[in-house]
Amino acid sequence: MAITKEAAQNTMQTAQHYVNQVYETIKKRNPGESEFHQATKEILDSLVPVFAKYPKYMEGGILERVVEPERFIMFRVPWVDDQGKVQVNRGFRVQFNSALGPYKGGLRFHPSVNASIIKFLGFEQIFKNSLTGQPIGGGKGGSDFDPKGKSDAEVMRFTQSFMTELARHIGPDTDVPAGDIGVGAREIGYMFGQYKRIQNAYHAGVLTGKGLHYGGSLARTEATGYGTVYFVAEMLKDSGLSFENSTVVVSGSGNVSIYAIEKATQLGAKVVACSDSSGYIYDPNGIKLDTVKRIKEVERKRISEYVKEHPEAEYTEGCSGIWTIPCDIALPCATQNEINEADAAALISNNVKAIGEGANMPCTLEAIDAFLQAGILFAPAKAANAGGVAVSALEMAQNSMRVPWTFEEVDAKLHTIMKTIYQNSIQAAEEFGYQGNLVVGANIAGFLKVADAMMDQGIV
Ligand code: NDP
Ligand code: 2IT
């Protein structure tokens, strides 16, 4: 017995040593890329029990290959603003892993975009896409272009220039971009028009998140937010809890936030707060979503406008104060690292019961540890927000068949996919001795499928 225990300890040590070595190489090869380091660290650490149990995954350089993008593209995006001045932005596309299908992942337009952010998002996308069970590899892209304050004409000229370069790298069977922060239906429309013009062919499946009148899927707009709530509802159910009569705080007021608020409200929750990058609103009677939709989706204004119409609500400048509002369920749906250790402590001291990551990597590693230590239910991003890309894959399927499905059909498939991701993550966590830990479970379940496909396909 003692020998077996010692042997088990040795295999864990060997696995940990191997993972540490790979992580050191990542840091050396990608200096200063803190977001990429953070995303790889979380996944690598949770794979230690996999390498200990199945040493075959340490052979064949699976891990060394999976952390190195198959291709990283960076390009100049010149365009002319409304004053006639030449502007130059930087464009990116990381084609990270194609073991399971064409590269798939969104495009982000935000001034903070750089190589580190694109790589962290692309790396996460590999395992998220694997979890969906759909045939899609992992990719991501974007630009440091800031859509805020730009006219429609400027956004069109920028996106056309961006697509003029990107077009040569993508295709319905090669790489299929979609939206992310700063990229919604308007930008996808301009990009699709430019791609079609360059190719002189109607490749409907080259982009997802398209408008409904030219190949978009019903329920894609709602998919990420709805999917996050479906996933959290499954997690709550296992602990005898639900959204009904709960108080919810959602950060952000963009695509993911709006539809997370909508579904949580439909399930009987009261959502009392949401935000944008300037500040947050608190409405003790529950957020009026129609007002938020009009302000953010139509008028493209600041969330502070809300209190002009609803004087019972309060607006507070600055972002992180939102996590001091008492709630049962917190859904961070804005951006990376928006919940740090202090924010986590505030939520825990207010007796939060569950966290659902709608955004990508919204919690720091320290915040995640704090939630897990405190026994708070925690739904990690790559599982909880996978509904968006899952319905993107359903959009690709409909484009290939040239047959659209109804809203109800797509929504039902989304619901099933989210339940399956939850079950697979719970089971993987249990198999490897981390019962109830969805962070470890999702990482392992996502990794194993990619690793098996990579083994089958040889050293490429
Ligand atoms: P949107 O551009 O529609 O909305 C983003 C929201 O977050 C806005 O309210 C924005 O405020 C706020 N925000 C953005 N950056 C910051 C920042 N640095 N600090 C504070 N607030 C910020 O993007 P999405 O809703 O599409 O994306 C939100 C998150 O969800 C991202 O992490 C994205 O990667 C992730 N995600 C998106 C999916 C999708 O299908 N769209 C799928 C899966 C994940 P403001 O209006 O002031 O800019
Ligand atoms: O982070 C994400 O999963 C997305 N932005 C959606 C990607 C997609 O291809 O739909």
- The class that CATH gives domain 5-67 is mainly alpha
Among residues 177, 250, 274, 226, which one has the least CA distance to residue 415?
226
Instruction: Indicate which residue of 140, 150, 196, 263 is catalytic.
Output: 140
Ligand 1 pocket check: which of 121, 181, 292 to mutate, most ligand atoms within 8 Å of Cβ? 181
- pLDDT for 1 equals 46
Q: Is a pLDDT exceeding 80 seen at residue 192? A: yes
Q: Where are the alpha helices (DSSP H) in 310-406?
A: 341-349, 365-373, 381-384, 387-401
* Cross-strand bridge partners of residue 354: 329, 377
Closest CA to 444 of 25, 130, 99: 130
pLDDT at 57: 96
Residues 129, 69: Cα–Cα separation, whole Å: 16
391 pLDDT above the threshold of 60: yes
117 lines ligand 2 (CB under 6 A): no
pLDDT of residue 6: 85
CATH code of 222-384, in short, is: 3.40.50.720
CB-based contacts of 292, cutoff 8 Å, min separation 6? 253, 258, 261, 274, 303, 306
Structure confidence by residue, pLDDT tens digits, 171-186: 999 999 999 999 999 9
Domains 5-67 and 71-203 share a fold: no
Pairing of strands 329-331, 354-356: parallel
| Cβ–Cβ < 8 Å for 283, 304 | no
CA nearest ligand 2 atom 4, residue: 106
Ligand 1 centre to CA of 386 (Å) is: 15
pLDDT one-digit tens code per residue, 304-353? 999 999 999 999 999 989 999 999 999 999 999 999 999 999 999 999 99
Q: Is 42 in the pocket of ligand 1 (CB under 6 A)?
A: no
347 φψ region: left (φ > 0), alpha (ψ -120 to 50), beta (else) = alpha
- Look at the domain 71-203 and name its fold: Rossmann fold (3.40.50)
Q: What is the pLDDT of residue 308?
A: 97
CA neighbor of 372 nearest in space, from 393, 355, 395: 355
> What is the spatial distance between Cα 171 and Cα 183, in angstroms, rounded to a whole number?
19
pTM: 0.98
Residue nearest to atom 2 of ligand 1 (CA): 181
Q: What do you get for the CA distance between the two ends of the chain, in Å?
A: 42
Q: What are the residue ranges spanned by the domains of the chain?
A: 5-67, 71-203, 222-384
Mutate to test the pocket of ligand 1, among 277, 281, 289, 392 (most ligand atoms within 8 A of CB): 277
Instruction: Tell me if 319 CB under 6 Å of ligand 1.
Output: yes
Residue 228 CB–ligand 1 contact under 6 Å = no
Nearest CA to ligand 2 atom 1: 106
Token digits of residue 145 = 């272009």
The pLDDT score that the predictor gives to residue 161 is 98
Is 85 one of the annotated active-site residues of the chain?
Answer: no
Q: How confident is the model at residue 3 (pLDDT cuts 50, 70, 90)?
A: low
Rounded to an integer, the average pLDDT of 284-307 is 97
Q: What number does the ligand 1 atom closest to the CA of 361 have? A: 32
- Name the average pLDDT for the chain: 97
Q: Determine the pLDDT at residue 185.
A: 97
Could you give the CA distance from residue 291 to residue 444 in angstroms, rounded to a whole number? 41
pLDDT in tens, 95-144: 999 999 999 999 999 999 999 999 999 999 999 999 999 999 999 999 99
Strand segments, DSSP code E, in 321-452 are 329-331, 354-356, 377-379
Over pLDDT 90: what percentage of the chain? 97
DSSP-H helix ranges across 57-109: 62-66
- pLDDT value at 2 more than 90: no
Q: Bridge partners of 177?
A: 105
